[in-house]
Amino acid sequence: MNKDPEFSVIVLCYRSEEGIIPYSKKVKEVVSTLTDSFEIILVGNYMEGSPDRTKEIVEHIAEEDSVFRAVCKVKKGMMGWDVKEGLSMAKGDVLCVIDGDGQFPVESISECYRLIKTGNYGLVKTYREKRHDGFQRKLISVVYNLAFSMLFPHVKARDINSKPKIFLRSVYEKINPTYDDWFIDAEIMIKASKLNIRFYEFPVEFMELQGRRSFVNFSTILEFVRNMIYYKLKGK
């Protein structure tokens, strides 16, 4: 592998445990067809005192295969903090973030990468056209995206939280997200719009979550809405 890979893929592995083993292999299979200059960063941050074994599993993956790098720290934030920790370790000029729970199709990384390399875009992402994650999650997503579009009508994204998201390093450095929680996806898209960064999104099928319950619930949407209102009032 090159010392400074061209493509960095950050996989958010929180509480994935054994499920991250086949998933990480699939990510490597897909990415290796795109470029021979890449790294895969497995973010296994954990709550102190938790029985979660993801840390040990991703560290073992990284020890066995130099393509992988493990980031495993005691959590000081939620999803946004994990995203920033993973990206702070990345060396590539093209950066990708994807969840490690298998709901987003790994193959969508290929289309994102192709578009970012050939389409003159600074950011490429997906939107969830078909969903298999249950009525509650669908309702939460509809309410959230509707509230977001009302507060930030200038942001023309169809599905703010959808992944993978791929951006050029130069774009990520301009956006410089700060949120440590779920709002980081919204922050990225708001700032991208304000900076007039050209982006593209395409549809994917969002699969049912296997092996554990979703971390997203109605308390999460209250957090989303609170952050949106605060962000809007602050005029950022």
**pLDDT value at position 212?**
59
| 63-111 pLDDT tens trace | 999 999 999 999 999 999 999 999 999 999 999 999 999 999 999 999 9
φ/ψ (deg, to 5) at 203 = -80, 145
**pLDDT value at position 217?**
61
Residue 2 belongs to a domain: no
**Mean pLDDT within 149-162:** 93
Q: What is the pTM of this model?
A: 0.92
Residue 182 belongs to a domain: yes
Count structural domains, the chain: 1
Token pair recorded at residue 214: 């979703």
Amino acid at 11: V
Residue 26 belongs to a domain: yes
The C-alpha angle with vertex 205 and arms to 144 and 35, in degrees rounded to 5, equals 110
| 165-217 pLDDT tens trace | 999 999 999 999 999 998 999 999 999 999 999 999 999 999 877 665 655 66
CATH number of the structural domain spanning residue 222: 3.90.550.10
Residue 57 belongs to a domain: yes
Residue 102 belongs to a domain: yes
Residue 1 belongs to a domain: no
Residue 204 belongs to a domain: yes
Residue 73 belongs to a domain: yes
The domain of 146 spans 7-234
**pLDDT value at position 180?**
94
Q: Which long-range contacts (CB under 8 A, 24 or more apart) does 146-155 make?
A: 147/224, 147/225, 147/228, 148/186, 148/228, 151/228, 151/229, 151/232, 152/186, 152/190, 152/193, 152/228, 152/232, 154/193, 154/194, 155/189, 155/190, 155/193
**pLDDT value at position 215?**
59
